[in-house]
Structure 1
Amino acid sequence: MKRYLFCAAIIIAMFGCNSEKKDYASSENAMVLSDTVASIDTTSTAKIIKTADMRFRVKDVQKTKEQLSATIKAQGGTIAEFSIESSIQESDKVKYSVDSLKEITSYRKEGFLIAKIPSEKLDDFTNTVAKMAVFVDHQAMKMDDQSITYLANKLKVQNRVDAMNTINKTATRKGKNVETSLYIKDDYVDKKIENMTIDNRVKFSTITLNFYQDNTVNTLIVGNDNLYDYRPGFFQRLGLNIIDGWVYFKEFLLGLSRLWAIIALGFLIFFGVRYWIRKGSSRRI
């Protein structure tokens, strides 16, 4: 009897250890997920995303770009994209000397810049940019409240944590549970990254700047690419043409000399027909 009781006690102890291990594993997973959720920003402040854009005229596009870069850096922002482009409006070339021309070009230079500015400094930055401009064509700012989306993502993340805890408590080695667990984890990561993106866009506002300067006229001395101007003078060309004419005349005579038989036959036919016509006329008389 004692042996049976001893065996039963051992079996109960083994099941108790297994259940403790499963509870410990599930509780450990729950703690990890809870810590991850705690790492998400839980502040109740509004999630306002600010974007702005400006178009303005300046005296010099290149100098303005340098000033903008220094101002953005001083305010803790960064430049995401920029470009400077010059488009030719009109171009002409006039004769400057025998072998050179003066190239006159009218062009328009425009600049494009996208920057990330700390949201609390956006108004000050736009005011600074307006002072750099000669004339402001357009200025606008948009505020997008993402508070509801942010809260929805947080609630969905919590739902996924609860779902993961439930799966861990009833974990089996079946493939469906593994696939479901991976899907929930991936969706959990997506929602977390989406909220991190919202936080970053709330912290740093995006501003798009388009600036241009008045049409600029530039002159440059370039080589003469008109080949006609490089030809010899009139009298030199006249002498050369006379020589060329004599050469062509000689070639013409040489060509006729090759056709002497045809020419002789033509003369014979001409005089024969003429003689025949005259003889016929004399008979009639």
Structure 2
Amino acid sequence: MKRNIIAAAIILTIFGCNSKKEGYVTDSDAEAKEIQIPDTVVADKIIKTADMRFRVKDVQNTKEKLSQIIRSEGGTVAEFSINSTIQETDKFKLTADSSKEITSYRTDGILVAKIPAQGLDEFTNAIAKMAVFVNSSSLKLDDQSINYLANQLKGQNRIGASKQIGKIPSKKTANITTSMNLSDESIDRKIDNLNIDAKVKFSTITLNFYQDNTVKTMIVANDNLYDYRPAFGNRLWLNIVNGWTIFKEIILALANLWMLVLVGVVAFFTIRYFVRKNKVAMEMATRNMMENRQ
């Protein structure tokens, strides 16, 4: 009995040593290798975005003033456009070759700017002073602190995993590919955080401004082609001359067809001859019938 116990103990000892050599992880090893999440303190990552719509006296002048204010605040203009929409237009004749055009149009401007976050309130206050009145104004705060921390921790985790895979003696393609993928994902996390930092530092504000309808009067060329035709007397004489020209062309065309004209004349007289002959014969036949009845 004692021999059997001793033999079992020896076998368990041998298998225990082999399992450690072959890479089996014990409970103590698992505890040692457990990922420790540090108590990382991340500053508030608040992304601010704002929108404003307001009425101004002149869209172009407002755009120039806005650009100056944005530069003075250390910001940049990301997008800008001006659009004029015709509301109504009218045109009437002044002289034979000129007309007066009156147009009513509406002008709108859109400007998207990147402003330092700490100066966003001062910037919106300056815009409110420039406007005739503000139609709408809004501010949105997006807290990205948790996402920022998640990107940091996941990036660190992937860097650690990539290094562990790199230490494995085997140079299999699968291990290399896995290590490269983990490195790429770590870079993506860093880039995401860089984008968050940029958006936190510079707030995006969209400005939509417009002015009252503008009426513009200008002298333009008369585009009615009928007014550029010659006077009635000149046109009458030109038509007479043109008619004589057409008549001569018809005569010349008939001259080219003289054979057809000749055939037509011969056919006319031939038909006429037979018609008259048949008429005389019918008259004679009718007369004879009447005489025979008497």
The bucket for the TM-score relative to the shorter chain is: 0.7 to 0.9
State which of 191, 195, 205 in structure 2 corresponds to 1:193: 191
Residue 262 (structure 2) aligns with: 261
Change (3 A) 1:74 1:262: same
Instruction: Output aligned runs, 1:73-222, within 5 Å.
Output: 73-163=71-161, 166-167=164-165, 170-172=167-169, 174-175=171-172, 176-222=174-220
Residue 45 (structure 1) aligns with: 43
How far 1:148 moved relative to its partner?
A: 0.9
Change (3 A) 1:162 1:246: closer
Superimposed CA distance per residue, residues 236-261 of structure 1 (whole angstroms, 9 cap, x where no aligned partner): 11111122222333333444453431
Q: 2:99 touches 2:222 (CA, 8 Å); kept in 1?
A: yes
Query: Distance in 1 between the 2:229 and 2:264 partners?
Result: 41
Superimposed CA distance per residue, residues 52-101 of structure 1 (whole angstroms, 9 cap, x where no aligned partner): 11222222111111011011111111111111222333444432222223
State which of 204, 228, 233 in structure 1 corresponds to 2:231: 233
Query: Distance in 2 between the 1:62 and 1:76 partners?
Result: 22
Change (3 A) 1:241 1:276: same
Coordinate RMSD, CA, aligned = 2.6
How far 1:277 moved relative to its partner?
A: 5.5
How far 1:135 moved relative to its partner?
A: 3.5
Q: 2:77 touches 2:112 (CA, 8 Å); kept in 1?
A: yes
Letter of the 1:63 counterpart:
N
Q: 2:162 touches 2:180 (CA, 8 Å); kept in 1?
A: no
The aligned length equals: 243
Query: Distance in 1 between the 2:182 and 2:251 partners?
Result: 101
Residue 276 (structure 2) aligns with: 275
How far 1:120 moved relative to its partner?
A: 1.8
Query: Distance in 2 between the 1:164 and 1:225 partners?
Result: 76
Change (3 A) 1:151 1:255: closer
DSSP 3-state at the match of 1:56: strand
Query: Distance in 1 between the 2:103 and 2:230 partners?
Result: 31
Query: Distance in 1 between the 2:84 and 2:233 partners?
Result: 47
TM-score by length of 1: 0.74
Change (3 A) 1:184 1:244: closer
Superimposed CA distance per residue, residues 149-194 of structure 1 (whole angstroms, 9 cap, x where no aligned partner): 11112222332354356456x4536245544433333222221221
TM-score by length of 2: 0.72
Letter of the 1:172 counterpart:
P
Query: Where does the alignment leave 5 or more consecutive residues of structure 2 unmatched?
Result: 1-39, 288-294
Indicate the structure (1 or 2) with the bigger Cα radius of gyration: 2
Query: Distance in 2 between the 1:280 and 1:133 partners?
Result: 110
Residue 3 (structure 1) aligns with: none
